[in-house]
Chains A and B, each alone.
Chain A
């Protein structure tokens, strides 16, 4: 079931001549047009307008943050279920799968879209099974267990027949989607509610950059505990850590903003590292903001626990295939590293990657809206969240 999604080489190198930048921009627009045309070629599965709009918004930077993207995707998929014309569960699954695939291939970095698609397909399966069970009085064995995972080959090969039309499926699905929506809404709250369980008085906490869940978590901690010191690495070149610092500075905690170079020097005084992540990989590793690897490594050096805040929708059944990270990273505009107009920029290669891979052995604990989990337990959470057949969309 290993799904090597990151095989497509998405790396782009920015070199610094204005002409090349122009060319790159042109390429980008060209690609986008191409992409839309590509979908037109296959007449059976065109991307819905809403999906195309979502892709466009994300690429343009209008829609940012994995939470917002997830909510939007969920919204669109819900509309597909309620509005689109489908007869059987199989038809619906195919429809959603196609749209999910389009999203995933257009936005390879935003794995949350694929995750939510998987989640909904699993939901369709479950609801269908449940309704079928009601009709035919079959004992419900849809719940996955470790035993079943091990013995999967023998008895689970008989895939169910989803092609029969089923009364009341649409209503049941919409009901259940409501549950997922409320889960999304409360998930940040649920994560931050656990702050007291992990943070004690006069603790020194280090974090990196700016993550929405980390901000809420720390705000809660500042409210509940006294004398906290929060050290924030600024995360150059965008320096989003400054935003976090400004947002937290109104509380009673002491805020220390450090440049990324001071992480190691400060780590000796830190009690806990709390970071957010972009997504969690199937092995429990992280795809987190650039610099997270250094933070985790320094924490390991000083035996400081690393706590990662990862709501369930960030868990993705994807393995990293390439140790050298090339295949799963993105490089952004390097103006922040060296100004374009400097002489050196003409000759030097400059990279400004966005993500860092953090191996699971450097992570101590995940905190999701469901509670705390060890990195070694992620596989189990995945098998509960998604159906094994949907790991590959």
Chain B
């Protein structure tokens, strides 16, 4: 509660000018008694500005301009500092808060008159004016009017917007600065394109259920779609593929990542006075950090990255760059071949022993490994059929269904809540996994735990298939501590709903569609884990983790 109140105070000045007193009254209603003093102060100010209403805003701006012309440019520079101070100070904030928009006005008078008409698109264009100017406050100010100008937007959104205002300013600068490193002169250009598409989205009320405040959804990612020349294009492409979910599944994501890293290595030019491996490692680290903004890294990617870091430290120092690059690329190819492709084949051949004639195999979602296993079993002319359990919002099961149907395997498809209906006829459950945690818990697409639970209640064995490159050192006992949040819109906009009652869920005060990507299956629900090494109980994961460094060399 404390944060919004604080920001309210600091920004009330702005609201005073831009909205009639009625809006302020609403805001007042939401306040707590502790801020009564500042309230009284505000009311005095309202009565000063009240009689004029909308039309008066222009006059007001003129007045403020006059003031500012006296103060001159100094105030502009100090405005930024004042804005920062605004957080710390209490009542004085109202004044400093006012100062910020005033600065804008002095910078672009015409733009602010357009603002007076309360047209949303106008300010967006007007921002270009100050943004082009190289002066440093220009950028920070450019955002302020966009916030203030949105009279059309609901006041509720305003309240929630307010807290974001000040944090986002430095954050955005950081975001654009971090990957840049080089700090090109063309920086304002991408910044401009950034703001315009981003504003409508960030304006939306972001209500999040209390339980999930610590998890970040894909909120900032869309700001990164820029021609950021400091980041290698292959990484940007991979990032975009992650974001729009054209590449999903931990294996596919890992392979895409490794290919991107390979191109980076090939394109890498060692700067003078730098060692090849050191420079490259620092470079790749930047890229990986950047990639993390699109989607949290999969465990498989983290492991692959660890491997790359390891092989970079093992490089010989006395050979040429081109030879080293060749060496590295070979090692990466070997990783893909051994850890992903060969492992899949090994697992497949192990599972084949378990699939026999007359089997009814249930699987969930779309796992590349399970697909491989089932196709292999079909090739061996085993007479079996497959039940694919699907679930919203991604409906990945349809993809697996399409692939298996095209191979001529007989398939049945149900949604996940019909699992109790279909389970009696199932003889085996095969599940894919996102990662295996060191305490034996299986991290996989949400719903996997439910399948294992129902399978256990019907005494059907549930096998989890997972390559060892997805094994993680992390331990976790529930799905909420560490997870990934998908876009809540996906749940609301499922295609098969007739009446979309929640289409505008943002208009509800405390409603949140939760799109959790992974869940955690406790080991007691899993009969065994099939890895390329052996069929193991879940609890043997730490054993594999312990022997891995000597065996696979990282």
B-binding residues in A (CB < 8 A): 229, 233-239, 242-243, 245-246, 249-250, 252-266, 268-269, 290-291, 293-294, 297-298, 301, 323-325, 329, 335-339, 342-344, 347-353, 356-357
In the assembled complex, the Cα of A147 lies from the Cα of B338 at a distance in Å of 74
- B412 interface residue, CB < 8 Å from A? yes
The interface bits of chain B over 409-441 (1 if a CB of A lies within 8 angstroms of the residue's CB, else 0) are: 011111111111110110000000000000000
Closest residue of A by beta carbon distance from B420: A293
In the assembled complex, the Cα of A269 lies from the Cα of B211 at a distance in Å of 9
Contacts of A347 in B (CB 8 A): 405, 410-411
Contacts known (A257-B502, A258-B514); A338 close to B417, Cβ less than 8 A: no
Are the CB atoms of B415 and A264 closer together than 8 Å?
Answer: no
Q: How large is the interface on B (under 10, 10 to 19, 20 to 34, 35 or more residues)?
A: 35 or more
Are the CB atoms of B519 and A351 closer together than 8 Å?
Answer: no
Contacts of A255 in B (CB 8 A): 508, 510-512
Closest residue of A by beta carbon distance from B207: A254
- B209 interface residue, CB < 8 Å from A? yes
Interface residue ranges of B484-517 to A (CB < 8 Å): 491-492, 494-502, 505, 508-516
In the assembled complex, the Cα of A258 lies from the Cα of B211 at a distance in Å of 13
Interface of B is mostly: mixed
Are the CB atoms of A239 and B512 closer together than 8 Å?
Answer: no
Contacts of B499 in A (CB 8 A): 242-243
- B391 interface residue, CB < 8 Å from A? yes
Of B90-98, B296-304, B443-451, the one touching chain A: B443-451
Contacts of A342 in B (CB 8 A): 398, 402
Please give the distance in Å from B237's CB to the nearest CB on chain A. 29
Are the CB atoms of B508 and A324 closer together than 8 Å?
Answer: no
Q: Which of B398, B417, B510, B515 contacts A249 (CB 8 A)?
A: B510
> Can you pick out 25 interface pairs between chain A and chain B where the beta carbons lie within 8 Å of each other?
A236-B391, A236-B415, A242-B501, A245-B501, A254-B510, A255-B510, A256-B209, A256-B211, A257-B512, A259-B392, A259-B515, A260-B392, A261-B391, A262-B519, A264-B450, A265-B449, A265-B478, A266-B516, A290-B420, A329-B421, A337-B390, A344-B402, A344-B411, A347-B411, A348-B411
Contacts known (A243-B501, A259-B393, A351-B414); A294 close to B453, Cβ less than 8 A: yes
Are the CB atoms of B514 and A324 closer together than 8 Å?
Answer: no
Closest residue of B by beta carbon distance from A336: B496
Interface residue ranges of B40-78 to A (CB < 8 Å): none
In the assembled complex, the Cα of A338 lies from the Cα of B398 at a distance in Å of 8
Contacts known (A236-B415, A338-B413); A301 close to B421, Cβ less than 8 A: no
Are the CB atoms of B417 and A236 closer together than 8 Å?
Answer: yes
A-binding residues in B (CB < 8 A): 209-211, 390-393, 398, 401-402, 405, 410-422, 424-425, 445-447, 449-450, 453-454, 457, 478-480, 491-492, 494-502, 505, 508-516, 519-520
Are the CB atoms of B496 and A297 closer together than 8 Å?
Answer: no
Are the CB atoms of B516 and A258 closer together than 8 Å?
Answer: yes
Are the CB atoms of A348 and B454 closer together than 8 Å?
Answer: no
Are the CB atoms of A269 and B420 closer together than 8 Å?
Answer: no
**Given A252-B510, A343-B405: 7 more A-B contacts, CB < 8 Å:** A261-B392, A265-B446, A294-B416, A325-B421, A348-B413, A349-B411, A351-B414
Contacts known (A236-B417, A356-B421); A261 close to B412, Cβ less than 8 A: no
Most chain-A CB neighbours within 10 Å: which of B418, B480, B501, B509? B418
Please give the distance in Å from B513's CB to the nearest CB on chain A. 4
In the assembled complex, the Cα of A342 lies from the Cα of B390 at a distance in Å of 15
Contacts of A268 in B (CB 8 A): 478-480
Contacts of B421 in A (CB 8 A): 290, 325, 329, 351, 353, 356
Q: Which of A249, A324, A335 contacts B509 (CB 8 A)?
A: A249
Contacts of A325 in B (CB 8 A): 420-421, 424
Are the CB atoms of B417 and A294 closer together than 8 Å?
Answer: yes
In the assembled complex, the Cα of A282 lies from the Cα of B424 at a distance in Å of 23
Contacts of B495 in A (CB 8 A): 339
Contacts of B415 in A (CB 8 A): 236-237, 260, 336-337, 352
